[in-house]
Amino acid sequence: MPSPYRAIFALPGTKSFSVAGFLGRMPLSMMGIGIVTMVSQLTGRYGLAGGLSATVALSAAAIGPQISRLVDRHGQRRVLRPAALMSLVAVAGLLLCSKFEAPDWTLFLFAALIGCVPSVGSMIRARWAALYRDTPQLHTAYSFESVIDEVCFIFGPIISIGLSTAWFPEAGPLLAGGFLAVGVFWLTAQRATEPAPHPRGQHSSGSALRSRGLQVLVATFVATGTIFGSVDVVTVAFADDQGHKAVASLVLAVYAAGSCVAGAVFGLLHFKGAPARRWLVGVCTTAVSMIPLLLVGNLPFLAVALFVAGLSIAPTMITTMALVEQHVPRAKLTEGMTWVSTGLAVGVALGSSVAGWVIDAAGAKAGYGVPAVAGAVAVAVGFLGYRRLKQPVPQRGGTDEHGERGQRHDERPTGQDTERTVA
């Protein structure tokens, strides 16, 4: 591991919560694609499969920020454990209803309840922010977390699709539930690195989403999530058309590998320019990388195209989290990060659902038009909101320990100096 990455683990407890966070995030890449694979195998209906995956994502989008707001107020341990238990019960219900061919409405009911799953990635990033706020190590830590996200997306689909196709259809989502249980309960057992909660009396009113900069990030990531959700579903269907459905997991792993490589390199770099400009370049690059997918004719070409497309994902996500840290008060940081994940989840829901309908109506190859259109929308929203992200945000500290708004005495002002350390 390069020395900048080794340095962030110098503090006690950082290795343990990172491993727990890795396990807790595996369901992020396993559950949706596992449900698509399971339902398509059991019923042959990609529309239903995409709809269920979309329901999970939409439910997480609606419930996730509320869970994170409670975490900011009451702490990770008190909130994450009951939320994870609710999600695990829903996973069990969905698998049983699928196994015994229950009516479709029961599948959607349990899929909606799965949305209680906590945003583990936001919880881990909040711990890093509490340890390294306003230091160069925070950029490295965010980069490391983006690499971990992509490692999950490399191995998660392989494990989920592979088990569901080689063992039994429900195996992928079942293992995803196991990872969630182990990751969340291990993470919440580590109290020393848990960020201090901000009780209601110390918590400013309103949602973190009132931040104008955060609104731009979330709106853009709805379109970006549409890319991710549609690419997953279309790739499974395209591989099925080619007679190699199980290979879809390997192709999607190559997509994540491109992002993983780019994220690892990005974390070693230090930037002095405005993060908003780098963020907009990342959004544009992501959109342009969807165009070659419209020309795919076989799986090897698709793998190459997806690897190149993946190179822009992690750097964009890393810069996004740095912007969230700049635009959201500290007392609402976990909620703010979760709103970005919510934007992605809404997009994934939209993308997987629309892609499923397009596949059923026009075939798998036509489905790659969905991420291409979504990329164009992301660019349009990014340009329209770019000015908001450039504006400095005063009073990032939220409310202090006396309930008064303003910056803490040790907080640096937002601007170029902060940019050199955070991003």
- What tens digit of pLDDT does each residue of 366-417 get? 888 999 999 999 999 999 988 887 765 554 444 333 333 333 333 333 333 3
Closest residue by Cα to residue 191 from 85, 77, 114, 115: 77
- Tell me the range of 80-84, 168-172, 345-349, 406-410 where mean pLDDT is highest: 80-84
pLDDT of residue 414: 33
pTM of the model: 0.71
pLDDT of residue 276: 83
Tens digits of per-residue pLDDT, 197-233? 776 544 455 677 677 778 889 999 899 989 988 888 8
pLDDT of residue 227: 92
Closest residue by Cα to residue 295 from 246, 238, 225, 374: 238
Please state which of the ranges 165-179, 201-215, 314-328 shows the lowest mean pLDDT.
201-215
b/e per residue 384-405 (b: at least 16 CB within 10 A): ebbebbeeebeebbbbbeeeee
pLDDT of residue 290: 93
Torsions phi, psi for 114 (to 5 deg): -60, -25
pLDDT of residue 64: 81
pLDDT of residue 393: 58
Helix, coil or strand: residue 235: helix
The percentage of the chain sitting over the pLDDT mark of 70, rounded to a whole number, equals 89
Confidence class for position 158, pLDDT limits 50, 70, 90: confident
Contacts (Cβ under 8 Å, ≥6 apart) of 181: 84, 88
Q: pLDDT at residue 235 above 50?
A: yes
Alpha carbon distances (Å) from 190 to 24, 275, 301, 337, 363: 14, 33, 45, 21, 48
User: How confident is the model over 145-168, as a mean pLDDT?
Assistant: 81
399 DSSP β-pair partners: 405
pLDDT of residue 337: 81
Tens digits of per-residue pLDDT, 17-34? 999 999 998 888 788 888
User: How confident is the model over 304-330, as a mean pLDDT?
Assistant: 85
The percentage of the chain sitting over the pLDDT mark of 90, rounded to a whole number, equals 18
Q: How far is C-alpha 283 from the geometric centre of its chain's CA atoms?
A: 16
Average pLDDT, the chain: 80
Q: Which amino acid type is present at position 416? A: Q
Helix, coil or strand: residue 399: strand
Instruction: Choose the CATH number for 3-190+209-392+416-422 among 1.20.1250.20, 1.25.40.20, 3.30.565.10, 1.20.120.160.
Output: 1.20.1250.20
> Domain map of the chain by residue range?
3-190+209-392+416-422
pLDDT of residue 184: 92
- Extract the tokens encoding 236: 């499974």
Q: pLDDT at residue 306 above 80?
A: yes
Rounded CA-CA distance 343/324 in Å is 13
Q: pLDDT at residue 253 above 70?
A: yes
Q: pLDDT at residue 148 above 80?
A: yes
Tens digits of per-residue pLDDT, 254-294? 888 888 888 888 877 777 767 888 889 999 999 999 999 88
Please state which of the ranges 141-155, 342-356, 375-389, 407-421 shows the lowest mean pLDDT.
407-421
pLDDT of residue 392: 54
Contacts (Cβ under 8 Å, ≥6 apart) of 190: 13, 16, 17, 20
pLDDT of residue 2: 55
CA dihedral 156, 162, 164, 167 (to 10 degrees): -130
Strands (E) in 88-183, as ranges, are none
Tens digits of per-residue pLDDT, 85-141? 999 999 999 998 888 878 888 889 999 898 888 888 888 988 988 888 778 788 788
pLDDT of residue 203: 46
